[in-house]
């Protein structure tokens, strides 16, 4: 059971726009911690896609965008391409009575139809 | 360009220990913390703990407290993760990742990742 909740899968046709949600709680996203997104292509290590809720590292296309509101965040991918087919993970930080640490969503598999 | 290169795959017996290494290059090793994240087959990512090499202090996820030890050798720019009392559920790919931490801004993320090390626990 992941601390952050993501839909297990989303899909879209080439050229379309899809969004992936990430829901947390008052001890992580709602506490003001930023949300970050990673893309994991099959058989490879995760790669930073979005940091600080909405910032793209150098080299990440502007088709990828992120936002955060309240206890949730979203990743949007516009102009879908076949190469976007991957697993996507949101990540934040959690601080509660039981301890503090880095937390992830369960991941969302994006299928490009 | 920062690179994190991990040691090779391991096969271990239940009850034994495994030690995975992560050698950094292209950056200032001591200035950044290194975390370890694991991914069981077909599953998501799970943070295990991290270390700030310049201080040598590690912090661990509650789930792994007492079973994981993370260390760093500044002289070789290498971080290590040792997991003991292995069980079949520990079969996973283990990644090291460089932390970016801005406490005042509430920003904690990983900007570079190692290639991963598969640890298989089987009798």
- Tens of pLDDT, residue by residue over B72-113, are 999 999 999 999 999 999 999 999 999 988 888 888 999 999
CA-CA distance, A110 to A93, in Å (whole number)?
24
B95 touches chain A (CB under 8 A): yes
Nearest residue on chain B to A32, judged by CA atoms? B106
Whether chain A has a CB inside 8 Å of the CB on B29: the answer is no
Give mean pLDDT, residues A9-18.
97
For residue range A52-81, list pLDDT tens digits in order. Answer: 999 999 999 999 999 999 999 999 999 999
- Looking up tokens 């007492």 gives B66
Question: B11 vs chain A: nearest CA distance in angstroms?
Answer: 19
Nearest to B107 among A52, A57, A105 (CB): A52
CA distances in angstroms from B55 to A101, B49, B106, listed in the order given? 18, 15, 21
Write out chain A residues lying below 8 Å of B106, CB-based: 31-34, 93
Cross-chain CB nearest to B44 (options A2, A34, A52): A2
Residue B52 touches partner A, C-beta closer than 8 Å: no
Mutate to test the interface with B, among A28, A102, A109 (most CBs of B within 10 A): A102
Confidence of residue A96 (pLDDT cuts 50, 70, 90): confident
- Rounded to a whole number of angstroms, the distance from the CA of B113 to the nearest CA of chain A is 7
CA distance A51 to A109: 20
Q: Which of B68, B92, B108 to mutate to test the interface with A (most CBs of A within 10 A)?
A: B108
Q: Nearest CB to B106: which of A33, A89, A102?
A: A33
Tell me the per-residue pLDDT of A16-63, one tens digit each, with 9 for 90 and over: 999 999 999 999 999 999 999 999 999 999 999 999 999 999 999 999
- Answer whether A51 sits within 8 Å of B35, measured CB to CB: no
Long-range contacts of B51-60 (CB under 8 A, 24+ apart): B51/B79, B53/B29, B53/B79, B54/B30, B59/A101
Average pLDDT, chain B: 94
CA distances from A40 to A59, A83, A86 (A): 16, 11, 6
Instruction: Single out the residue of B24, B76, B26, B71 nearest to residue B51, CA to CA.
Output: B71
Is the Cβ pair B111, A57 closer than 8 Å?
Answer: yes
What is the phi/psi pair of residue B104, to 5°?
Answer: -60, -30
């Amino acid at each position: 059971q992941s601390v952050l909740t993501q839909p297990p899968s989303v899909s879209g046709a080439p050229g379309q726009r899809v969004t992936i949600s990430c829901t947390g709680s008052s001890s992580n996203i709602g506490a003001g911690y930023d949300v970050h997104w990673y893309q994991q292509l099959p058989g490879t290590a995760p790669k930073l896609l979005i940091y600080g809720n909405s910032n793209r590292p150098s080299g990440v296309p502007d088709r990828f965008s992120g936002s955060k509101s309240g206890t949730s965040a979203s990743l949007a991918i516009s102009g879908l391409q076949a190469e976007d087919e991957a697993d996507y993970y949101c990540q934040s930080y959690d601080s509660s009575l039981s301890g503090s640490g880095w937390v992830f969503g369960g991941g969302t598999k994006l299928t490009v139809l | 360009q920062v690179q994190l290169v991990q040691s090779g795959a391991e096969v271990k017996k239940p009850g034994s220990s495994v030690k995975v290494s992560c050698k950094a290059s292209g950056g200032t090793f001591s200035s950044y913390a290194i975390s370890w994240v694991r991914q069981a087959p077909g599953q998501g990512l799970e943070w295990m703990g991290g270390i700030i090499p310049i201080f040598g202090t590690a912090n661990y996820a509650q789930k792994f407290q007492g079973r994981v030890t993370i260390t760093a050798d500044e002289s070789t720019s290498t971080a290590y993760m040792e997991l003991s009392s292995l069980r079949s559920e520990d079969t996973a790919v283990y990644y090291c990742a460089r932390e970016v931490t801005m406490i005042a801004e509430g920003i904690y993320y990983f900007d570079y990742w190692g290639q991963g090390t598969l640890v298989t626990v089987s009798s």
